[in-house]
């Protein structure tokens, strides 16, 4: 019996000691430990939501000036569409004659362009004759001259194409330059099946902007609204929450705005918005996402006013004139050698596609070469929605599996 009593007594003592120790634990100490745990959790949460990074392809530039005369001086400012398992680029090409023509190359993965044609797939004749073209002197020397023609060194032809796939056709918009006072936006199209077969049967060219109205860099949405084409013509109408869009049943200038409703960005005063003071133009055509229409655009900041940098915003899906979100910092800046080799400080991103959830941005660097940068689409849009800066990562060893 004594042994049983002692056993009961021994088993009771540890319970009593644990209970007393717990009771003696200071409340302040518990609160301190709890606050430390919360701080660690908060820190982990902050670290996990770092700004997204737009990465350049490590083997940039992806297209260099070629051996054929028509593209021997420069290849840049490409349009891009994804179809038939390949990315198709329509790039601006220049030769010694200073005429801009459209070249073609395609890639199976969006990075390595293993198919490039030896001839231009589209070109136009501008002006009523060589002698009629006289921006400064008559007759003008028809040569590649970057000082006389700062826009890439070309004096005429079709410049800076953009492309969208819509209703079974590829629509190609481009700028027509025939002197500094004669700039217009035009459009042509081709059946998608012809594009995939490289059967370059283009429709007759039509002007989008009114004759005599100085315009550049209009882009088409890859979707119709109430049965009408949507043409984005201006990003700065004085209200940072709105963009300028015209709707038309036919892609011609009959339903397009005049200069007073679509002012030339070069003639507008500085207008501080987000990171920039001067908004230039749309870059690639809008891309539809679940969060809105993703629109990349070109702008210049106050610190480096001569550099073309890339911005991004999201437009409302149903009312695309309304700006929902905007990246508060540039998503791409001209820092690499191929972005400063010929015309310093130029990134001109006129093409973009989405493949397997990743955004590929194709751009002209320094008005001379074609390069690509990429980012998971959701990272970019989420970063914009969270109002975080989307930072660019230095070119390292980026590759896709």
CA-based torsion, 342, 81, 156, 348: positive or negative? negative
Top-confidence residue, 239 or 104: 104
pLDDT at 140: 52
Question: Percent of the chain having pLDDT more than 70?
Answer: 81
Burial class (CB in 10 A: 0-12, 13-18, 19+), 215: buried
| Beta-bridge partner residues of 83 | 86
CATH 2.115.10.20 fits 53-393, yes or no: yes
Please determine, for residue 26, whether its predicted confidence score (pLDDT) is greater than 60: no
Q: What is the per-residue pLDDT across 50-79, written as a single tens digit (0 to 9) for each?
A: 667 789 999 999 999 999 999 999 999 999
pLDDT at 142: 74
Of residues 145, 139, 153, 156, the one with CA closest to residue 99: 156
Top-confidence residue, 264 or 35: 264
Mean predicted confidence (pLDDT) in 96-109? 96
* pLDDT class of 19 with cuts at 50, 70, 90: very low
| CA angle in degrees (0–180, nearest 5) for 239-240-244 | 70
- Measured in residues, the chain has a length of 401
* pLDDT class of 249 with cuts at 50, 70, 90: very high
* pLDDT class of 208 with cuts at 50, 70, 90: very high
Top-confidence residue, 53 or 294: 294
Using CA atoms, how far apart are residues 354 and 324, in angstroms rounded to an integer? 21
CA-based torsion, 186, 217, 394, 152: positive or negative? positive
Domain limits of the chain?
2-48, 53-393
Please determine, for residue 214, whether its predicted confidence score (pLDDT) is greater than 50: yes
The full DSSP string for 202-215 is PPPPEESSPTT---
User: Token pair 């217009």 is at which residue?
Assistant: 184
User: Token pair 């689409």 is at which residue?
Assistant: 377
Mean predicted confidence (pLDDT) in 116-137? 67
Q: Does residue 58 contact residue 397 with C-beta atoms inside 8 Å? A: yes
Using CA atoms, how far apart are residues 331 and 352, in angstroms rounded to an integer? 14
pLDDT, averaged across the chain: 85
Using CA atoms, how far apart are residues 336 and 245, in angstroms rounded to an integer? 34
Mean predicted confidence (pLDDT) in 152-158? 89
* pLDDT class of 392 with cuts at 50, 70, 90: low
- Range with the largest mean pLDDT of 147-151, 349-353, 385-389: 349-353
pLDDT at 130: 38
The full DSSP string for 266-305 is GGSPP--BTTBSEEEEE-SPPEEETTEEEEEEEEE-SSST
Mean predicted confidence (pLDDT) in 212-221? 94
Mean predicted confidence (pLDDT) in 278-302? 96
pLDDT at 51: 62
Question: Percent of the chain having pLDDT more than 90?
Answer: 67
Top-confidence residue, 261 or 393: 261
Mean predicted confidence (pLDDT) in 85-110? 97
pTM above 0.75?
Answer: yes
- Range with the largest mean pLDDT of 3-17, 141-155, 335-349: 335-349
The residues, any chain, with a CB within 8 Å of residue 384's CB and separated by 6 or more, are 312, 313, 314, 325, 326, 327, 390
Q: Does residue 228 contact residue 167 with C-beta atoms inside 8 Å? A: no
* pLDDT class of 49 with cuts at 50, 70, 90: low
Please determine, for residue 355, whether its predicted confidence score (pLDDT) is greater than 50: yes
Using CA atoms, how far apart are residues 245 and 111, in angstroms rounded to an integer? 32
pLDDT at 228: 97
pLDDT at 388: 73
pLDDT at 93: 98
Top-confidence residue, 269 or 311: 311
With residue 41 as reference, give the H or E element that holds it: helix 27-48
Mean predicted confidence (pLDDT) in 16-38? 46
Q: What is the per-residue pLDDT across 273-289, written as a single tens digit (0 to 9) for each?
A: 999 999 999 999 999 99
Q: How many CA atoms lie within 13 A of 298 on its CB side?
A: 27
| Beta-bridge partner residues of 159 | 175
Of residues 118, 130, 126, 122, the one with CA closest to residue 71: 118
């Amino acid at each position: 019996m004594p042994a049983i009593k002692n056993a009961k007594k021994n088993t009771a003592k540890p319970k009593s000691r644990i209970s007393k120790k717990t009771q003696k634990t200071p409340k302040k100490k518990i609160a301190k430990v709890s606050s430390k745990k919360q701080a660690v959790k908060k820190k982990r949460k902050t670290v996990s939501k770092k700004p997204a990074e737009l990465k350049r392809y490590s083997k940039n530039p992806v297209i260099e000036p070629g051996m054929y005369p028509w593209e021997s001086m420069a290849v840049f400012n490409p349009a891009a569409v994804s179809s038939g398992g390949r990315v198709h680029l329509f790039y601006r090409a220049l030769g010694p004659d200073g005429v801009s023509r459209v070249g073609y190359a395609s890639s199976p993965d969006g990075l390595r362009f293993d198919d490039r044609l030896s001839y231009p797939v589209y070109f136009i004749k501008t002006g009523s004759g060589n002698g009629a073209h006289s921006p400064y002197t008559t007759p003008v020397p028809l040569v590649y001259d970057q000082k006389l023609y700062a826009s890439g060194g070309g004096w005429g032809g079709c410049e800076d194409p953009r492309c969208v796939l819509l209703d079974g056709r590829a629509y190609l918009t481009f700028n027509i330059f025939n002197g500094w006072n004669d700039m217009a936006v035009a459009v042509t199209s081709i059946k998608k099946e012809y594009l995939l077969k490289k059967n370059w049967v283009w429709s007759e060219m039509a002007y989008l902007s009114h004759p005599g109205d100085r315009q550049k860099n209009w882009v088409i949405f890859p979707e119709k609204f109430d049965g009408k084409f949507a043409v984005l013509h201006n990003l700065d109408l004085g209200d940072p929450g709105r963009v300028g869009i015209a709707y038309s049943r036919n892609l011609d200038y009959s339903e397009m705005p005049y200069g007073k409703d679509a002012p030339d960005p070069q003639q507008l005063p500085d207008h501080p918005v987000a990171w920039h003071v001067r908004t230039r133009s749309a870059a690639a055509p809008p891309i539809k996402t679940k969060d809105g229409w993703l629109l990349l655009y070109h702008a210049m900041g106050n610190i480096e006013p001569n550099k073309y940098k890339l911005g991004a915003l999201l437009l409302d899906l149903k009312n695309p004139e309304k700006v929902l979100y905007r990246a508060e910092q540039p998503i791409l800046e001209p820092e690499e050698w191929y972005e400063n080799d010929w015309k310093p400080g130029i990134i001109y991103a006129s093409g973009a596609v989405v493949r397997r959830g990743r955004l590929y941005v194709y751009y002209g660097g320094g008005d001379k070469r074609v390069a690509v940068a990429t980012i998971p689409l959701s990272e970019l849009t989420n970063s914009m929605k969270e109002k975080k800066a989307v930072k660019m990562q230095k070119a390292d060893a980026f590759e896709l599996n």
